[in-house]
Amino acid sequence: MNPKNLLRRLASSPDLAPFRELVRPLAEHDRRRGSDLIRTLRVYFACGANASEAADRLWLHRNSLLYRLQRISSITGLDLKDPEARFALQIGLLAMEQQERKATVLKVKGRGRE
């Protein structure tokens, strides 16, 4: 079976609600302040937690990226150097993305009925 499909099925599980809650404060912070912490975290994880590579992909100075990661740790209360904390945040992002996808699909389907 395709790992992406497995992860998508897992992401829609209600059992992942606590993981979504780990990243919700970041999403709220982004909305309130116009920041980009969720995107920063996604790119950081996509780069295998390599700060230099993530900074390059985000067109940031490495110190700016490190500051954002520090803000993420501060807001979530999690240490990004801890592999279990990183894994929990990755699951939270996955679950949040799946929830957003479903909301978008429902919104689009709802418009088609008008």
Domain presence at residue 88: yes
pTM as predicted: 0.85
Exposure string for 7-36, b = 16+ CB within 10 A, e = fewer:
beeebeeeebeebbebbeebbebeeeeeee
Average per-residue pLDDT for the chain: 91
DSSP string, 75-93: HHT--TTSHHHHHHHHHHH
- CATH number, domain at 81? 1.10.10.2840
Rounded-to-integer distance, Cα 114 and Cα 93, Å: 32
Domain presence at residue 5: no
Q: For the segment 28-72, what is each residue's pLDDT rounded down to a tens digit? A: 999 999 999 999 999 999 999 999 999 999 999 999 999 999 999
Domain presence at residue 57: yes
Q: For the segment 77-111, what is each residue's pLDDT rounded down to a tens digit? A: 999 999 999 999 999 999 998 878 777 776 777 76
How many domains does the chain divide into?
Answer: 1
- Lookup: tokens for 67: 């500051």
